[in-house]
C-alpha cells in the first residue's frame, strides 16, 4: 500500500512539473479596479476550481507582500459568481493603494495576480467651495468618532443655509427634547409644502432608529451633502424627478447614549404601529403628510456569517401583494443584481442562520410602511467584519465599510425608484384600491414566504416563514370604539384618537362612540390596532361584521 501511494505522489509531482502551464492557470488574471464612493470594486477572471479568493490591499509605494488581506470572496456573494467582483471598503477615502487577488483551492492559496493600483475617491465635495466643504465630525476624525448630536445639528443647519436644494424641518422632539430633523431635498429647490411633495414622487430615507446602529446615520449625513451639491447629470435628474426626504436621527436620545431603545428603553422599531413614543409618533405624522412612495430604514446586525448587507421587504400578509412584490423586486432584482456587479454582498435578512428575524410584526417600520402602501425595505449592515472582511478589527475600517455601503444602498434605492417610478406608482394605486375595497381576508400576524434561491446565491438562506394567525375571512366592516376607549392613553402615550390621526386612519362618530371603517387606505393596519385578539393592539374595540 505504501509503495503504491508513494508512486502516486511521485507521479502527481511529475505531472505538475511537466505541466507548468496548468499550474500557471491557477493564478488570477484580468484584475481591474474601479473607484466608487468610499469603496473600490475589484474584478477578475475566475479560476477553474477555485473555492474562494483573497483580496490583498497594500498602500501605494509599499513593497508588495507587505499588505493585508482585506477580503475573502465566496461564490454566494453574487447572482453571477462566474464574474467575480469584490467591493473593498474600510480605507481612508482619497488614499492610493495596490491590490492583488489570489484563488484558494480548498485551503491552498494559489499565486497572486499581477497588482493593479489606483487612487481612491476623496470625500465628496471640493474643499475650497463653501457648502461642499462641509464635513461631519465622523469624516473630520477619519471615522474615529461618530457624529455627535451637537455636530449633527450644526452640520444640518449649515447645509440648509448653503444649498438652495435643501430645506430642513423639525418633525418632532424626542422624549428628552432633542429635535428630530428632516432634510427635504429637491431641484432646483424643494417643493414648498408637504401637500405638494405628497402629490409628487417622494423617497424617504430613515437613517437611525436603533441608537447603537449608527452607520446609516453617518451615511445619510454625507448623502445629504452629495445630493445638495452634486452637479453630475444623474443627481440632477434624480432631484428633478423626486423629492428626497432624509431623517438622520429619530432616536437622538438613544444615539447620544449609544443604546438600542429611546431614553425610556422602548425599542422604537417595535412601536411604529402603536406610536406610544414621541419619536415614532412624529415619524408617522410626517409619513401621513408627505406620503413617500419608497422608504428605506437603516440598521446594523450582529451575525458575522451573514452577507455585507442583509435586506428585507414588508412581509405582513395584510400588505397588498402589489406593494410586497415591488418591494421584493427592489431587493431581489435590483440590489442583488447591481450589488453583484459592484462587489457588494446582499442577502435576505436572517440569511446564514440569522435566527428568527425578518418576520411580520406590524410594529417594525419595514412592515408598517408596507401597510401604508409604500414600497419599503430595511438594511441590516453586518456590524462586524466577520471572516469575509478580516481587516475590520480596526474600528475605523469597520465603520467606513458599513457607512459607505449604506450610502451605496441608498443611492441604489433612489436609482431604482427613478427607473421604476411608473411601476411603483401603479403598485401603490393597486394597493390602495385593494385596501379600500376590503374584500380580501386579513390576519393579525403571518408572512408572505421568501423562497430560497438555489445555492450558491445571495438568496440561498432566507428568513423563516410565519404561518398566519387570526384569519378574519370575510374581513370585518370596521371597529367601534367607546368614547372612553377613543380618549384612552397607554403607558403615558397620547390618546388613541391622536395616534389614529397620526397614522391618517379615518374615524366617524357613531352614537356615543366612534366607528373606524375598514374601507380605507390603511385597512391592513386597523385590525392590528383595534382588535382585542391582535398580537399588540392599541385598544380592544368592538369588531363589527359586514
Ligand atoms: Zn436595528
Q: How far is the CA of 354 from the centre of ligand 1 (A)?
A: 14
Q: What confidence score (pLDDT) does residue 490 get? A: 80
pLDDT tier at 35, thresholds 50, 70, 90: very high
Cα of 302 from ligand 1 centre, angstroms: 10
Ligand 1 centroid from CA 6, angstroms: 57
* Model confidence at 3: pLDDT above 50: no
Q: What per-residue confidence (pLDDT) applies to 24?
A: 58
Q: What confidence score (pLDDT) does residue 354 get?
A: 86
pLDDT in tens, 218-251: 999 999 999 999 999 999 999 999 999 999 999 9
Residue 356 has what pLDDT? Answer: 87
SS3 for 504?
coil
pLDDT in tens, 487-524: 999 878 999 999 999 999 999 999 999 999 999 999 99
CA of 486 to the centre of ligand 1 (A): 32
Q: Which residues of 143-182 are buried (b: 16+ CB within 10 A; e: fewer)?
A: beebbeeebbbebbeebbebbebbbbbebbebbeebbbbb
Q: Taking all residues of the chain, what is their mean pLDDT, rounded to a whole number?
A: 95
Residue 426 C-alpha to ligand 1 middle, in angstroms?
30
Output the CA 98–ligand 1 centroid distance in Å: 35
pLDDT at residue 398 tops 70:
yes
> How many angstroms is it from 261 CA to the middle of ligand 1?
10
* Strand stretches in 12-147, DSSP E: 32-35, 39-43, 52-59, 68-73, 85-89, 96-105, 108-109, 116-119
Task: Output the CA 271–ligand 1 centroid distance in Å.
Answer: 13
Quote the ligand 1 centre to 209 CA distance (angstroms).
Answer: 7
Q: What is the pLDDT of residue 25?
A: 65
The CA 107 to ligand 1 mean position distance, Å, reads 35
What's the CA-to-centroid distance between 86 and ligand 1, angstroms?
A: 25
Q: How far is the CA of 212 from the centre of ligand 1 (A)?
A: 8
Cell of 209: 432608529
Q: How far is the CA of 301 from the centre of ligand 1 (A)?
A: 7
Residue 21 reports pLDDT greater than 60: no
Task: List the one residue out of 288, 297, 293, 286 whose CA is nearest residue 202.
Answer: 293
Q: Cα of 269 to ligand 1 centre, how many Å? A: 7
> What's the 519 CA to ligand 1 centre distance in angstroms?
33
Distance (angstroms) between ligand 1 centre and the Cα of 394 equals 22
Over pLDDT 70: what percentage of the chain? 95
Distance 14 CA to ligand 1 centre (A): 57
Calpha distance 153→177 (Å, rounded): 13
Mean pLDDT of 340-365: 94
Ligand 1 mean position, distance from CA 120 (Å)? 30
* Cα 207 to ligand 1 centre (Å): 10
- d(CA 446, ligand 1 centre) in Å: 21
* Residues 527, 472 contacting (CB under 8 angstroms): yes
pTM of the predicted structure, to 2 decimals: 0.95
C-alpha 297 – ligand 1 centre gap (Å): 9
Whether 376 has a pLDDT exceeding 70, the answer reads yes
| 293-316: average pLDDT | 96
C-alpha 140 – ligand 1 centre gap (Å): 26
* Ligand 1 midpoint to CA 348 (Å): 15
- The distance of Cα 146 from the centroid of its chain, to the nearest Å, equals 19
Amino acid at each position: 500500500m505504501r509503495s503504491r501511494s508513494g508512486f502516486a505522489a511521485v507521479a502527481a509531482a511529475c505531472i505538475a512539473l511537466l505541466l507548468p502551464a496548468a499550474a500557471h492557470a491557477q493564478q488570477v488574471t484580468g484584475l481591474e479596479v474601479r473607484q466608487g464612493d468610499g469603496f473600490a470594486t475589484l474584478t477578475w477572471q475566475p479560476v477553474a476550481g477555485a473555492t474562494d479568493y483573497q483580496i490583498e490591499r497594500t498602500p501605494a509605494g509599499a513593497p508588495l507582500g507587505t499588505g493585508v488581506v482585506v477580503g475573502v470572496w465566496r461564490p454566494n456573494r453574487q447572482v453571477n459568481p462566474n464574474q467575480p467582483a469584490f467591493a473593498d471598503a474600510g480605507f481612508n477615502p482619497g488614499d492610493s493603494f495596490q491590490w492583488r487577488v489570489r484563488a484558494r483551492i480548498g485551503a491552498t492559496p494559489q499565486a497572486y495576480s499581477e497588482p493593479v493600483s489606483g487612487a481612491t475617491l476623496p470625500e465628496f465635495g471640493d474643499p475650497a467651495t463653501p457648502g461642499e466643504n462641509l464635513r461631519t465630525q465622523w469624516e473630520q476624525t477619519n471615522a474615529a468618532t461618530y457624529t455627535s448630536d451637537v455636530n449633527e445639528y450644526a452640520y444640518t443647519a449649515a447645509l440648509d443655509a448653503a444649498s438652495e436644494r435643501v430645506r430642513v424641518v423639525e418633525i418632532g422632539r424626542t422624549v428628552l427634547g432633542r429635535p428630530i430633523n428632516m432634510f427635504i431635498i429637491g431641484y432646483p429647490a424643494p417643493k414648498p409644502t408637504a401637500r405638494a411633495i405628497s402629490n409628487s414622487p417622494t423617497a424617504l430615507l430613515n437613517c437611525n432608529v436603533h441608537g447603537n446602529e449608527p452607520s446609516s446615520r453617518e451615511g445619510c449625513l454625507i448623502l445629504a451633502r452629495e445630493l445638495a451639491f452634486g452637479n453630475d447629470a444623474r443627481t440632477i435628474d434624480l432631484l428633478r424627478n423626486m423629492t428626497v426626504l432624509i431623517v438622520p436621527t429619530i432616536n437622538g436620545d438613544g444615539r447620544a447614549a449609544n443604546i438600542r431603545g429611546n431614553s425610556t428603553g422602548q425599542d422604537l422599531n417595535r412601536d411604529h404601529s402603536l406610536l406610544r413614543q414621541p419619536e415614532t409618533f412624529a415619524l408617522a405624522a410626517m409619513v401621513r403628510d408627505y406620503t413617500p412612495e419608497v422608504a428605506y430604514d437603516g440598521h446594523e446586525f450582529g451575525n458575522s456569517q451573514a452577507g455585507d448587507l442583509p435586506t428585507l421587504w414588508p412581509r405582513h400578509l395584510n400588505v397588498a401583494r402589489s406593494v410586497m412584490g415591488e418591494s421584493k423586486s427592489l431587493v431581489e432584482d435590483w440590489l442583488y443584481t447591481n450589488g453583484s456587479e459592484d462587489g457588494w454582498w446582499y442577502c435576505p435578512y436572517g440569511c446564514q442562520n440569522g435566527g428568527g428575524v425578518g418576520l411580520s410584526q406590524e410594529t417594525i417600520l419595514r412592515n408598517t410602511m408596507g401597510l401604508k402602501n409604500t414600497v419599503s425595505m430595511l438594511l441590516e449592515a453586518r456590524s462586524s467584519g466577520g471572516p469575509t472582511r478580516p481587516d475590520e478589527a480596526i474600528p475605523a475600517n469597520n465603520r467606513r465599510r458599513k457607512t459607505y455601503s449604506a450610502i451605496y444602498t441608498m443611492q441604489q434605492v433612489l436609482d431604482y425608484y427613478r427607473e421604476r417610478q411608473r411601476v411603483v406608482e401603479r403598485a401603490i394605486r393597486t394597493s390602495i384600491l385593494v385596501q379600500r375595497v376590503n374584500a380580501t381576508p386579513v390576519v393579525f400576524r403571518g408572512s408572505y414566504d421568501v423562497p430560497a434561491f438555489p445555492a450558491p446565491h445571495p438568496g440561498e438562506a432566507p428568513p423563516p416563514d410565519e404561518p398566519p394567525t387570526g384569519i378574519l375571512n370575510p374581513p370585518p366592516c370596521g371597529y367601534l370604539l367607546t368614547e372612553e376607549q377613543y380618549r384612552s392613553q397607554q403607558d403615558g402615550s397620547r390618546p388613541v384618537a391622536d395616534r389614529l390621526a397620526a397614522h391618517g386612519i379615518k374615524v366617524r362618530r357613531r352614537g356615543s362612540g366612534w366607528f373606524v371603517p375598514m374601507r380605507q387606505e390603511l385597512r391592513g393596519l386597523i385590525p392590528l390596532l383595534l382588535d382585542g385578539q391582535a398580537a399588540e393592539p392599541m385598544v380592544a374595540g368592538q369588531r363589527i361584521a359586514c
